[in-house]
Structure 1
Amino acid sequence: MSLPAEAAAALQIFQDASGWEQRARLLMQWGEHLPPLSEADKCEANLVHGCESQVWLVGRLHDGHWQFSASSDARLIRGLVALLLARVNGLSAEELQQVDLPGWFNQLGLSRQLSPSRSNGLNAVLKRMFELTQ
């Protein structure tokens, strides 16, 4: 399965980064690029359960391809979620089921820095995406 263009660009940028400090800065920058969710979208129904931080997720289907929007109150999580969205936006429900989340963050060079709670949170976001696409 080929990567969406935004995911391929992210992969190149993160693989070119020298060390964790530069990746952490990039992560914060990616989080700042997330379009803000409306206050109406920041509701209980869109809150992802299983995250220590607050994460809201909205999914919309366009011509058989999913577009997700998300926000978080935590900067690092916002960056991780932005990278997840780069990987999954534009995929069909079937393609979404095949996304290897640990493999994606490993390719980006971020897996060692993902604490168990952050990994669990990202898995909760991915699980919520699956639920929305059903």
Structure 2
Amino acid sequence: MAQPAFEEIVETFEFLEDWEDRYREVIDMGRRMPPMDAALKVPATKVDGCASQVWIAPHTEGGVLEFDGDSDAMIVKGLIAVLHALYAGLPVGEAAGIDARAELARLNLADHLSSQRSNGLRAMIQRLDGIAREAA
């Protein structure tokens, strides 16, 4: 079972039967994310492979994975919020063991994202997995 914040998203998606409502929920999640400090939006935190501009700035203090993230596209910022609910706050060893694709499949996102957005999501997952494995 995933973190409580991610489980809440799963429950919300089960309640929202229409994909348009789910899409709006993802966008709203992005809007609710705290803004990322502009100083963190540097080439080292930019995620390659995304159609839009995406930044993920990790920090692993005390063996716990945390990260700031942002995008210039609202749906992508919402996807960052979903990943934040899945990964953030976990010990790096646990974060490294997450099967993000299986967890995200519970949200049925793959069927409703463009191929470019799906590629970007995979790139974000690879970045977070790599950070967690390196820190573990």
TM-score between the two structures when normalised by the length of structure 1: 0.90
What is aligned with 2:87? 88
Contact 2:2–2:103 (8 Å) recurs in 1: no
What is the alpha-carbon root mean square deviation over aligned residues? 1.4
- Matching of residues 50-89 of structure 1 within 5 Å: 50-89=49-88
Tell me if the contact between 1:4 and 1:87 (Cα under 8 Å) persists in the aligned partners.
Answer: yes
Q: Which moved more, 1:63-72 or 1:103-112?
A: 103-112
How many percent identity over aligned positions? 32
How far apart are the structure 1 equivalents of 2:11 and 2:130?
30
Unpaired runs of 5+ residues, structure 2, are: none
For the 8 Å contact 1:102–1:111, the answer to whether it is kept is no
Displacement of 1:122 in angstroms is 1.2
Residue 131 of structure 1 pairs with residue 130 of structure 2:
yes
2:37 paired residue number: 38
- How much has 1:59 moved relative to structure 2? 0.9
* Deviates most, 10-19 or 100-109: 100-109
Where in structure 1 are there 5+ consecutive unaligned residues?
none
Q: Tell me the TM-score normalised to structure 2 length.
A: 0.89
**One-letter amino acid matched to 1:39:** A
